Amino acid sequence: MTAIPRRRTRRAALVGAACALAATGTVLTGCGGEDPDEGTNGVGKLPAAQIQARSRSAAESADTVRLAGNVVAGGRTYKLDMRLKADGASGAVTAAGTTFQLLRVGEELFLKADADFWTGAGGKGDDGDTAAGEKLDGKYVKVPQGDPSYKKFSVFTDMGVLLDGLLTLHGTLETDGRHEQAGLRTVRVTGDAGSGGTLDVSLDGKPYPLRLVRAGGAGTLTFSAWGKDFTLAEPEKDETVDYGKQLPTS
């Protein structure tokens, strides 16, 4: 019988030990298991705090994003579907069962809604009827920068403010496995085991945030179309109404 070289026996024993370790939960290549980080951007190997930091950094470096979902603020739920960039945004906001369109180009903010929206906001004509609401129905109304509504609505169009305020987890950060969002692989980071929110970070391409569940049931949001440019332009004059110095208020 041919003797097996001692070095080969020792090497086989080491490989066997490594594969036994893999069976306990540590996945190693070369033992028949798949490396979950193969072909990824590598952030899945990092501690939770570093994953969140890389994700925030990627978001801050992006020129554009599409944000959709629900946000609970001030006891009211807002449904958002906004495309955002540094110098403007366009999209829809739904609150209290009413949907309105927002468009910001530079510093110019426009709001478009139906007559019921304006009538409900107190839009009465001089004759006491709903003439103002009918005038504004389906038109882009230019929001004066000095009007209280400008600050209220422009926050939904400010990419920097929205991302800074939303991409926050509370409490002790931990990772919570690998998941998938819109066909992309993600690693999930939780705050206080989920009670402080959860954030799914892309493992494909840049480590962009893809899904956020806010703490305290304050809404769930998805992020997509990172870095995909889109055109912003002020509406045509025949689509626009300049209401004046102040909009109707509720």
- The pLDDT tens digits of the residues spanning 215-249 come to 999 999 999 999 999 999 999 988 998 766 555 55
> Tokens 């069976």 label which residue?
23
> With pLDDT > 90 as the criterion, what percentage of the chain qualifies?
66
Closest CA to 219 of 75, 77, 56: 77
**Whole-Å CA distances, 158 to 18, 191, 231:** 51, 26, 16
| pLDDT (average), residues 18-31 | 45
- The pLDDT tens digits of the residues spanning 169-211 come to 999 999 999 999 999 999 999 999 999 999 999 999 999 999 9
Helices (H), the chain: 6-23, 48-61, 115-120, 131-136, 148-154, 159-166
- The pLDDT tens digits of the residues spanning 60-109 come to 999 999 999 999 988 899 999 999 999 999 999 999 889 999 999 999 99
What global pTM score does this model have? 0.80
Q: Where are the domains of the chain?
A: 43-61+169-224, 65-163
| pLDDT (average), residues 116-139 | 67
